[in-house]
Chain A
Amino acid sequence: MFVALRDLRFAKGRFALMGSVVLLITVLVTMLSGLTAGLAADSSSAIENLPADRVVFDARGAADGKISFSDSRISGETLRAWQDVPGTAAEPLGISMGRISFSASGEQSKSGGQGTAGERGAPAALFGVSPGGEAGNAGRSPSAGQIVLSSGLAEGTGLASGDEVQISGHAFTVAGTGGASSYSHTPVAWIGLGDWRTLNAQAGDQAATVLLLRLTGEPVLDAVDERLGTTTVARGDAKSAIPSFSAENGSLQLMRGFLFVISALVIGAFFTVWTIQRQADVAVLKALGASTGYLLRDALAQAVLVLLAGAGLGGAVGGLAGLAAAGSVPFVVSASTTVLPVAVIVLLGAAGAALAIRKITSVDPLTALGAAR
């Protein structure tokens, strides 16, 4: 890096400009990564934390046949059939969106879902879980007439254990709070499956929205799906069935991908121009005996230094900005939202620079003889 370091010192302005561009792109990518992860967690943390190996959907009623929590309807018959499948333990889970209402003083609201003077309300994703099942908040399954609030919901409403709330005119007592669970950007509240079925009485024979499967053997799930008309997916894949999750996450990932490509192109363009500018120096050094490999290593090291400085600083700024913003927007600061984007920018930028500096291989040292400078 003999020449590389001296070039960096000599052409400070040019490299500072390039480093700043890398820094700004990295800040943008880091913040977008943190926001993407934050929004994804805000949309799917309740699903990701489900105590299940597989999730069973019944999407026969869906218009497009795709699995979706909003379209899935598990009938009592399907539930019983799955519970009879050897090698599995099936637990029903009901999911619906609702609104809890409560009095500002914490006393029970006497109205239905609509708040009146002195009353407040908050949207909630209602998860109906079996008494004694695993799907409740940290294993706590609410009994009939009880509700367990996620920490987000409890903090947002100020409700605590023992408080009374109403959902669609049905009274519930808060049996506990805790757990950062949310579904489709809405905080989760767990109620008993019987209460959930009562609240969703219009669903007819619907026993649950999905089934949570624990595998205790090696069942042939495809055959069971075919027989019962269901679709079984891994828990990690189930979040794509959350309404709008794929579209929202896909758009943000696409933006992130574009930024990665842009950073590689910008770095490549800069080092293309830079390599052209220093062709005469390269020719002289080659004529003096420098090998092409030596010059390529020197130039690539220079690019990597610029990238490490720009992307490293950008990652740090993005992470700090994310931490500052985390209180008001869903934002995740972790290695995957800071270190990983920085590493990808450095790698892609280095690839772009490598393509640019390969021009060094074609520089003819003969041009140094008699070349006017």
Chain B
Amino acid sequence: MNLAIDDVVLTYPDGDRTLTALDHVSMTVEPGEFTAVVGPSGSGKSSLLAVAATLITPDSGTVTVAGRDVTGLRPAERARLRRDHVGIVFQQPNLPASLTALDQLTVMAHIAGRPPRRAAARARDLLASVDLAGVEHKRPHQLSGGERQRINIARGLMNAPQVLLVDEPTSALDHHRGEQIVELLGRLTRERRLATVMVTHDLAQLGAVDRVYSMADGRLSRESRVAA
């Protein structure tokens, strides 16, 4: 498996009391599997994604990413792991305004110390794979919301991750564009053998998903396989 979360507990201090964001959560995601986690706001979906992305260390339990237990890693090691093995697609595209569409992707290779020429070729291929050929030199303000979200997805794939973590990718899009984005994620997951986890509150956008987890009050309470 590419991603395994086992019996993870995560709590936050909340005034005088402690809030349990993840309550003994376990899940595994295999290569080529597109998993969705649905639930209302505040149910713990984003916390689950943050734990899987190694951005938060849980109180207990283990998180294994690309075969490596990440719970004891130092911040620099976690950053390296994210860089090399984890792709993140943010809720808002989070594209730095100074970078062109091509730069948004090649910066990932630069961070990883990869050769720039090969990175540019790969970035062009990725942009084409998300139907964005021809926008390489446009900056974020020159692109539509759907185009920005596609760049967000392509950026997440730039360093050939094994795990793709997707945070509410359709929240800023209309239904039609949202559907296209989820279909794109499903296609990329299967083509690139990614272990994809998408958190969403939009139950109408689950057509391309293989497995759905439901989350409420920090607990993963239901699992169902949607597609074969």
From known contacts A7-B98, A281-B96, A294-B111, infer whether A369 and B79 are also in contact, taking CB-CB under 8 Å.
no
Q: Which of A20-28, A102-110, A284-292 contacts B (4 or more CB under 8 A)?
A: A284-292
CB–CB B112/A284 < 8 A: no
CB-CB under 8 A from B55, the residues of chain A are 287, 365-366, 369
CB–CB A289/B84 < 8 A: yes
Interface of A is mostly: helix
CB–CB B167/A370 < 8 A: yes
> What's the nearest-Cβ distance from chain B to residue A45, in Å?
53
CB–CB B97/A10 < 8 A: yes
CB-CB under 8 A from B110, the residues of chain A are 2
Closest to A293 in B: B76
CB–CB B92/A371 < 8 A: yes
Q: Bound state CA distance, A281 and B103, in angstroms?
A: 14
Q: Bound state CA distance, A280 and B93, in angstroms?
A: 12
CB–CB A289/B82 < 8 A: yes
Which residues of B from 73 to 92 have beta carbons under 8 Å from A? 75-76, 79-84, 86, 88, 90-92
Residue from B46, B81, B99, B112 in contact with A369 in the complex, judged by beta carbons closer than 8 Å: B46
Number of interface residues of B (CB under 8 A): 38
CB–CB A291/B79 < 8 A: yes
> What's the nearest-Cβ distance from chain B to residue A107, in Å?
77
B159 interfacial contact with A, CB 8 Å? yes
B151 interfacial contact with A, CB 8 Å? no
Which residues of A from 315 to 373 have beta carbons under 8 Å from B? 365-366, 368-373
Q: Bound state CA distance, A3 and B76, in angstroms?
A: 20
CB–CB B90/A368 < 8 A: yes
CB–CB B53/A290 < 8 A: no
Which residues of A from 203 to 227 have beta carbons under 8 Å from B? none
CB–CB A3/B98 < 8 A: yes
From known contacts A287-B82, A288-B82, A289-B82, infer whether A373 and B107 are also in contact, taking CB-CB under 8 Å.
no
Q: Bound state CA distance, A370 and B93, in angstroms?
A: 10
CB-CB under 8 A from B168, the residues of chain A are 370
A80 interfacial contact with B, CB 8 Å? no
Residue from A10, A286, A369 in contact with B90 in the complex, judged by beta carbons closer than 8 Å: A369
Q: Bound state CA distance, A366 and B46, in angstroms?
A: 10
CB-CB under 8 A from A370, the residues of chain B are 46, 90-91, 167-168
> What's the nearest-Cβ distance from chain A to residue B154, in Å?
13
B94 interfacial contact with A, CB 8 Å? yes
Number of interface residues of A (CB under 8 A): 28
B195 interfacial contact with A, CB 8 Å? no
CB-CB under 8 A from A371, the residues of chain B are 90, 92, 94
> What's the nearest-Cβ distance from chain B to residue A156, in Å?
59
Q: Bound state CA distance, A371 and B163, in angstroms?
A: 21
CB-CB under 8 A from A290, the residues of chain B are 79, 83, 111
> What's the nearest-Cβ distance from chain B to residue A356, in Å?
19
B49 interfacial contact with A, CB 8 Å? yes
A63 interfacial contact with B, CB 8 Å? no
CB-CB under 8 A from A365, the residues of chain B are 55
Q: Bound state CA distance, A88 and B185, in angstroms?
A: 92
B135 interfacial contact with A, CB 8 Å? no
Q: Bound state CA distance, A346 and B73, in angstroms?
A: 38
CB-CB under 8 A from B103, the residues of chain A are 2, 6
Q: Bound state CA distance, A151 and B77, in angstroms?
A: 71
CB–CB B84/A372 < 8 A: no
Q: Bound state CA distance, A17 and B94, in angstroms?
A: 27
CB-CB under 8 A from B90, the residues of chain A are 284, 287, 368-371
CB–CB A284/B96 < 8 A: yes
Over the window 36-78 of chain B, the binary record of Cβ atoms lying under 8 Å from chain A Cβ atoms (1 yes, 0 no) is 0000000000100110010110000000000000000001100
From known contacts A3-B98, A3-B107, A370-B91, infer whether A287 and B53 are also in contact, taking CB-CB under 8 Å.
yes
Which residues of A from 55 to 75 have beta carbons under 8 Å from B? none
Over the window 286-316 of chain A, the binary record of Cβ atoms lying under 8 Å from chain B Cβ atoms (1 yes, 0 no) is 1111111010000000000000000000000
CB–CB B56/A280 < 8 A: no
CB-CB under 8 A from B88, the residues of chain A are 287-288, 368-369
> What's the nearest-Cβ distance from chain A to residue B118, in Å?
15
B155 interfacial contact with A, CB 8 Å? yes
> What's the nearest-Cβ distance from chain A to residue B175, in Å?
21
> What's the nearest-Cβ distance from chain B to residue A293, in Å?
8
Over the window 83-101 of chain A, the binary record of Cβ atoms lying under 8 Å from chain B Cβ atoms (1 yes, 0 no) is 0000000000000000000
A-B contact pairs, 9 of them (CB 8 A): A3-B96, A3-B107, A6-B98, A284-B90, A289-B111, A291-B80, A366-B55, A369-B50, A371-B92
Other contacts beyond A10-B98, A373-B92: 20, CB < 8 A:
A2-B103, A2-B106, A3-B99, A6-B98, A10-B139, A285-B107, A287-B53, A287-B88, A287-B90, A288-B108, A289-B112, A290-B111, A294-B111, A365-B55, A366-B50, A366-B55, A368-B94, A369-B55, A371-B92, A371-B94
Q: Rank and list the top 3 A-B pairs by shortest CB-CB distance, nearest first.
A: A289-B83, A10-B98, A289-B82
Query: What is A's interface to B at a CB cutoff of 8 Å?
Result: 2-3, 6-7, 9-11, 278, 280-281, 284-292, 294, 365-366, 368-373
